[in-house]
Structure 1
Amino acid sequence: MTPLDLYTLAGAALFVLGIHALMVRAHLVWKVLGFNVAGGGIFLVLLAASPRVDPLVADPVPQAMVLTGIVVAVAATAVALGLALRVTFRTGSPFLVEEVHADLEEELEGEDEDEPATGAAAES
């Protein structure tokens, strides 16, 4: 087994672990962490799959793409953590639970009823 095969398998394992955390964990920070682990697995597979002309020299384009992807992943993580913080403040819980969703839907429906109708619906 070559080192590239090991990198590919490690990247696939990281991706599977990240997706597992996204699906199984209810805590929002765990979901963000799973998203990052899955992204790291994708980056590792992309680097392992990059074409090589000379066995000692890797193609710099996939490396640049992975570096750009890491920057985008950091920004997406910041946005996701900000949204998780907002959900935590709004619901009082950092967990995604069906009761929390039902309470939010009732609260949002109550806000919609308080606002006056605008547009074409108000004219008719």
Structure 2
Amino acid sequence: MNKIEAVVIEIESMENLNLVSFQFEEQTLTMISLDLSKEIKVGKKVVLSLKPTNITLAKELKGLISSSNNLTATIDNIEIGKLLTCITSKIFNTQFQTIITTKSLEKLKLVLNEEINLLFKASDLAILDILDD
């Protein structure tokens, strides 16, 4: 499970549906939530979670996409398996693990220290923990 420390910067709500924006390093992340804790307020520090299988990798990305979250990272490690490959990438001091098929690795021709995009939908993020101020 990927863990991302971030700060709540905006909350938009309509009935039970919430669209929450977070500041992560110099990036903005967006999450959709049906039940948002009353403790979650603008300025609150949180730890977000993101499954490695929910991240799509892109190389030389151009054009518009519907994924709410698009982070640029550098490949730090590649563990190649027969069917699946685990890519570890880094954004500042935060590591992200992504699991893709080994066929996708071969198609993308990913290598260490290469810059890639991590794409994931707002519904893939979750608040794992609320940090003390």
Please indicate, yes or no, whether the TM-score normalized by the shorter chain is above 0.5: no
Q: TM-score, normalised by structure 2?
A: 0.18
Q: TM-score, normalised by structure 1?
A: 0.19
Based on CA coordinates, which of the two structures has the bigger radius of gyration? 1
Between Structure 1 and Structure 2, which shows a larger proportion of strand residues? Answer: 2
